[in-house]
Chain A
Amino acid sequence: MSKLLNLALGILAAIGGFVDIGDLVFNTAAGATFGYQLLWVIPVGVLGIIVYSEMSGRVAAVSEKAVFDAVRERTGFAAGLSALLASEVVNLLTLAAEIGGVAIALQLLAGLPYRVLLVLAVVALAVVVWTLQLEWIERVFGYGGLCLVVFAVAAVKLGPDWAKTGNGFIPHIAQNNSWLYLYFAVGLLGAAMTPYEVYFYSSGGIEDRWTAEDIGLNRANAIVGYALGGFLSIALMIVGASVFLRHGINPEHLGTIALGAEQPLGKIGLLLAVVGILFAVGGAAIDTVFSGAYNLAQFFGWEWGRYRHPAGAPRFALTWVFLLVAALAIVLTGVDPVMLTEYAVIFSAVALPLTYIPILLVANDPEYMGRHVNGRLANVLGLGYLIVIMVIAIAAIPLMIITNVGQN
C-alpha cells in the first residue's frame, strides 16, 4: 500500500515537474497565434521524450552509464567535448530563462524590483539545493507545480470549441503564415523534448541505484509522468487559444500567461497560476542546474551526485554554484526571459541529436545492455524520432531567422 502511495506521490510530483518555462511560453504563444491548430504537436513531442527517457533510464539501470558517460565512450573525447560544450551552453541559457521566470512570478506576488528578485531567487535556489535532500526538493516543487492544474480547469471552463479542438489533433500545416506555424511546431517539440530532462532522468537512475530489475518502474515512470504532464501543455494551449487569440493579445510577458487563468476563474485562478508557475519554473531551474553539473562531472570522471553532501563531491557542487552565478549574470543584463526562453528552446533543438544519437547507439549495444537491448518498438520509435530531431535541428535556426524569432 505504501509502495502504491509512493508511486502515486512520485507521479504527482512528475506532473508538476513536467512543465518548464519553455512549455509555458511556447504552448501559450502557439495557442494565442494559431488557436487549436498546433495541438497535434504536443503528443508528438511527449511521445518523443517518453521514448528517449525510457531508453536513457534503461541504459542507466542496466549498464550503469548516465548520458554523458555514454556520449564520451561512444563518440570519443573530441566529438564528446563538442557535444558537452553545446549542451552546457544550451543548459546555461535555459537556466537563465528559468531564473528570470522565477523572478517574474515572485514579482507578481511580492512587487519588489525585478533585479532584486533575481538575486533573491538565485540565493533561495542555492540554499534549497545546498541544504535539502533531492527527494524533498522534487516533492515540494512538484506539488507546488501541480497548481498549474488550474489551467486545465480554466481550459474547460472557457468552453473551447471542442470540434475545433479535436481537429487540432489531426496533423496539418496552416495555410497562412506557414513559416511562423513551422517555427512554433519546432519550438513546441524542442520544449517538450528538452535535453536537460533526459540528462537529469538518466543521472537520477544512477543515483537511485537502479538495476535491471527496475526497468519496469523506469518504463512506468517515463510513460505516466510525461503523458500526464503533456495534458498541462494541452491545457495551456487551449487557454492561449480561448483567451488570448479571442482578444488578440500576444502573451509576451510571463505574467500575461497567468491572466489566462484569471479570466475564467477570477483572483483565485490568478493566484494559483502564479504559484504554479513559480514552483514549476523553480523546480525546472534546479533540474537544469543539476544537469549542467552532471554532464561536466560525467564527461571528466569527477565524483558527482546530489545524494552525497556537497563536500562529498566538491567539483560537482562548485559547478552548480558557478552555473547559478553565471545564469544570474545573464539575466541581470536585463535580457527578457521570454526571449531568452525562445533562444534556449531553439538552440536545444539544434543540440538534440548530439545526445540522442549516443543513447540510441548504447541502447542497441549488447555489450552494454545484454538482453535488455532495444526491442523492435523502441528502435522503430527511436529511429523515427531521430529523423524528426535531425529535421528540426536543421530547420530550427533558419526558421528562427525567417520569422524574426517568432515576431512576424
Chain B
Amino acid sequence: MDKIHIGRNVLDHQLLDSDGRRCGNVDDLALEGNEVVAIHVGPGYWQRRAGLLGRVAGFIGGSNRVRIPWSEVEKVDAAVRLRRPAPEYGLGKIDDRLRPYLERVPGAKR
C-alpha cells in the first residue's frame, strides 16, 4: 500500500465499506507533512474544492463532515475500501434514514 499515488488513486475515488456498499467519495485528504492521516468525506468539504459552484453545492448538500483515519483504509484498488461497515463511520446516514420511507411503497423491495 506504500506505492499508491494519493492524488490520483485516492482523492475523488469511490469509498466502499466492508460490505461492498458505496458510501461516498473521497472529498478531501488530511495531510500532516507529507503523510496522509485521514480521509475527509461529506458536503462540508466541497466549498474549498470548487469556488462558487462548490459553495452552492455545499449549501445544498449540507455541512456534514466525516473524518476517517487512514488506518481504517483496508486497501486501495478501483475504489478505496474501508475496514468496517459504513454506519460505524457515520457514512450512508441519509440513505439509511430514507430507506424506511421508501420501503412503505409497494414494490420497493422486489
Contact = CB atoms under 8 A, between A and B. Distances in A.
Interface stretch (A117-125, A242-250, A295-303): A295-303
Interface string A19-63: 000000000000000000000000000000000000000000001
Contact of A69 (B14, B49, B108): B14
Contacts of B1: none
Interface in A174-211: none
Contacts of A72: 12, 25
A314 B12 contact: no
B46 A77 contact: yes
Interface residues of A, number: 32
B49 A300 contact: no
Contacts of A78: 49-51, 53-54
B57 A314 contact: no
A310 B12 contact: no
Interface in B53-71: 53-54, 57, 61
A82 B50 CA distance: 9
B108 A309 contact: yes
Interface residues of B, number: 35
A29 B101 CA distance: 46
Nearest to A65: B78
A313 B95 contact: yes
A131 B46 CA distance: 35
**6 closest residue pairs by CB, A with B:** A301-B25, A78-B50, A314-B98, A64-B78, A77-B49, A301-B24
Interface of A: 63-65, 69, 72-73, 76-78, 80-82, 85, 130-131, 133, 297, 299-304, 309-311, 313-315, 317-318, 367
21 contacts: A76-B12, A77-B12, A77-B27, A77-B46, A78-B51, A82-B53, A130-B105, A131-B110, A301-B14, A301-B23, A302-B24, A303-B95, A311-B99, A311-B103, A314-B94, A314-B99, A315-B94, A315-B95, A315-B98, A317-B102, A317-B108
Interface of B: 8-9, 12-15, 21-25, 27, 41, 46, 49-51, 53-54, 57, 61, 78-79, 92, 94-95, 98-99, 102-103, 105, 107-110
